[in-house]
Amino acid sequence: MAQAFYREAIRDALAEEMRRDPRVFVMGEDVAIYGGAYSATKGLMEEFGEDRVRDTAISEAAIAGAAVGAAMAGMRPVAEIMYFDFMTIAMDQFVNQGGKNRYMFGGKTTVPMVLRTEGGAGRCIAAQHSQSLEAWFTHAPGVFVVAPATPADAKGLLKTCIRDDNPILFIEHKMLYGVKGEIPDGEHLVPLGKAAIRQEGSDLTIISYSRMANTCAEVGKKLAADGISAEVIDLRSLKPLDTRTILESVRKTGRVLLVSEACSNTNFVCEIAMRINEHAFDYLDAPIVRVCAADVPVPMSPTLEDAAIPNPDRIMEAARKLAKGEV
């Protein structure tokens, strides 16, 4: 096992898949010479040339749409949208064209493409560069949504996504690029629709994804020191969702805390609560609890940014209360 940064894991996944399959190529703003705004495509142009690593104009709709068209015409594009916030501009192409063409055309086409983007708060770059818009996309039929939290999962999932025949939104987190982790040697693939249990436990289940999954794993360790046994689930894929792993855990613990960095209202975790309600209601010993971002545009000022998004203390407090039956 070797150690690698999250950003290196992304780059290695791209490089390995590009070596393996000549149909795979990369395009996006500043991905070639510059190596990506968060350096996740560094060195690719040098290895694969400008034909397969393409700098584009600042044209988010055309980037996403060109990926759809290239995919339908026989390539396997990996396009980058520099910030999740800019996905709003690319959304029609990804959701209305990419996500629906297969169904609308009677199953007679596939759209094998990955849109990589990077979301989340933490850098004081305010409301148009810090969002977590995953729920906008999990809502759309025809597209998959993944959000890896660790370098190993970033690598393994990206490789799987590139090989998959569906349009996939691959959400990285801006605060994770500099995080280091162990990556299994050799060919490393992580399946879609498979959650990771980051810590086993019996008192409550904490469910999260992306950066917050790491925060929850830390919280889980601290809770153990207090004698609270938390099971921490990192979803990794939001769609397809590993409902079975969630249900098994809920049947064991009877208490559920959902954590997400996206705004609270209509957060993706509401879907998880609903599935638990549908399939494991009788196992619940307490109401399901959530810790999500405040329903505000992400503020710039560090005090406000911290107040707006979940932090370890608030997650900890919610977990303690839930475990002690105080909700």
Closer residue to another protein in complex, CB, 218/248: 248
Instruction: Report how far residue 101's alpha carbon sits from residue 274's, in angstroms, rounded to the nearest whole number.
Output: 29
Query: How would you label 173-191 residue by residue, b for 16+ Cβ within 10 Å and e otherwise?
Result: bbbbbebebebeeeebebe
Pairing of β 113-119 and β 230-234 = unpaired
CB-based contact 79:95 (threshold 8 Å): no
Cβ proximity of 164 and 187 under 8 Å: no
Q: Which residues bind another protein (CB under 8 A)?
A: 25, 51-52, 54, 56-57, 59, 61-62, 64-75, 77, 92-93, 96-97, 101-110, 112, 141-142, 144, 164-166, 193, 239-241, 243-244, 247, 275, 279
CB 269 within 8 A of CB 260: yes
Structure-block tokens of residue 190: 């992580």
Instruction: Give the residue from 91, 94, 174 showing the smallest Cα distance to 142.
Output: 94
User: Where do runs of H (alpha helix) occur along 145-201?
Assistant: 151-163
The nearer residue to another protein, 173 or 239, going by C-beta atoms, is: 239
Active site residue 60: yes
Supply the minimum distance, in Å, between the C-beta of residue 268 and another protein: 13
Q: How far is the CB of 192 from another protein (least distance, A)?
A: 8
Tell me if residue 129 is catalytic: yes
Distance CA 266, CA 287 (A): 17
Q: Which of 170, 165, 161 is nearest to 72 (CA)?
A: 165
d(CA 148, CA 194): 11
Nearer to another protein, 141 or 297 (CB): 141
Closer CB to another protein, residue 69 or residue 254? 69
- Which of 73, 225 has the CB closer to another protein? 73
Give whichever of 165 and 317 is closer to another protein, judged by the CB atom: 165
CA dihedral sign, ordered 280, 286, 287, 290? negative
Which residue type, as a one-letter code, is found at position 242?
D
Of the candidates 8, 29, 60, 118, the residue annotated as catalytic is 60
Nearer Cβ to another protein (53/322): 53
Indicate the length of the chain as a whole number.
327
Shortest distance, position 31 Cβ to another protein, whole Å? 14
Cα–Cα distance for residue pair 300/311, rounded to 1 Å: 16
Which whole-number Å values give the CA distances from 292 to 161, 171, 284, in the listed order?
27, 18, 21
Quote helix, strand, coil % in the chain, to nearest 5.
40, 20, 40
User: Could you list the active site residues?
Assistant: 60, 129
